[in-house]
Structure 1
Amino acid sequence: MHDDDLRHRLNSSSSDWFFEYILLYKDAVMFQIEQVTKLCSKIALTEPWDPYDIPANSTYEDQYYIGGPGDEVMVQEWSDRKPARKLESWVGVYTVKDCYPVQETYTKNYSVTTSTRFFDIHLGIADPSVFTPPSTCQTAQLTRMKDEC
């Protein structure tokens, strides 16, 4: 696994806030950066790295095209559903060619769902400095800033 495989950068916005998140899995830390004030929170990462692949014990669900006539991509849908269970906690959609992730959805406790859509995927990282926290994070608060929608 490469160093770049253990980094993740996210953006989140609500009506009042715009946050950038830098997740450094090797260091088990996440930086939450408010984009207007540049305030920074440093938060322990407790979840393991998600390689965005199809786990070996997954269940094949379906294969279909997304897009329109002449501009379509064939994808497969996989889940962690087992034959004896009706519900799954993870569903992933991946392209048949090259297995690029399209969407992953996680459900926890029947009340929290996280859905991630992937687009504009490029192999490699052109500018690794995007994973360097800004200088304001050197004195980061140790609590998460409010980021509710």
Structure 2
Amino acid sequence: LVECFRFFEYILLYKDGVMFQIEQVTKLCSKIALTEPWDPYDIPANSTYEDQYYIGGPGDQIMVQEWSDRKPARKSESWVGVYTVKDCYPVQETYTKNSSVTTSTRFFDLQLGIADPSVFTPPSTCQAAQMRRMDDVC
């Protein structure tokens, strides 16, 4: 028995409140409503400073700061972000939604601006997309 999995590209258009799910082989497309607001990947104004340290090795280090949404009355946090001290580039963000859902995002090869804005244009197969999520398994 050989399992079959499908792979998807996702285009998230927060202003329109929609995410396009594009199957990579057939290019079939579906739409899914976005329910969460855009995350600007910044340090929110009410964040708690946690630590400052270097990442990397000898002679090749970058100083970063760690921030969270931890409040003094709470023992844990639902968000932790690590950012470079110089220019405040995101390095890693971790969100814990509940005891079984945690999302960790790592950032690399960052560039200022968007070199090709067409990456946010859904393909023509998405024009007639239905509001449903496609399954991962064939």
Class of the TM-score when normalised by the shorter of the 2 chains = over 0.9
Determine the C-alpha separation between the residues in 1 that align with 2:58 and 2:134.
45
Among 104, 124, 135, the residue aligned to 2:93: 104
What is the aligned counterpart of 1:19 among 8, 21, 35?
Answer: 8
Residue 147 to residue 117, structure 1, CA distance change in 2 (3 Å) = farther
CA distance in 2, matches of 1:44, 1:35: 20
Instruction: Find out whether 1:85 has 2:77 as its counterpart.
Output: no
Deviation at 1:17, TM superposition (A): 2.3
* Aligned equivalents of 1:18, 1:62: Cα separation in 2: 38
The letter of the residue matching 1:95 is: T
Q: TM-score by structure 1 length?
A: 0.86
Q: Select 1:48's aligned residue among 31, 37, 50.
A: 37
Aligned-CA RMSD value: 1.2
Shift of 1:147: 3.5
Superimposed CA distance per residue, residues 21-77 of structure 1 (whole angstroms, 9 cap, x where no aligned partner): 101111111001111111111011110010000000000111111111111111111
Q: Size of the alignment, in residue pairs? A: 134
Q: What secondary structure, in the 3-state scheme, does the structure 2 residue paired with 1:108 have?
A: strand
For normalisation by structure 2, the TM-score amounts to 0.93
Residue-by-residue CA offset, 1:82-122 (whole Å, 9 max, x unaligned): 01100100000000000000111100122100011111110
Say which of 104, 117, 122 aligns to 1:128.
117
Distance 1:16 1:70 in 2: 43
SS in 1 for 2:127: helix
Distance 1:127 1:141 in 2: 27
**Structure 2 gaps, min length 5:** none
Please state how far the C-alpha of 1:146 moved relative to its aligned partner.
Answer: 2.1
Give the 3-state SS of the residue equivalent to 2:130 in structure 1.
coil
Q: Percent identity?
A: 89
Q: What's the counterpart of residue 63 of structure 2?
A: 74
> What letter is aligned with 1:113?
T
Structure 1 residue ranges without an equivalent (≥5): 1-14
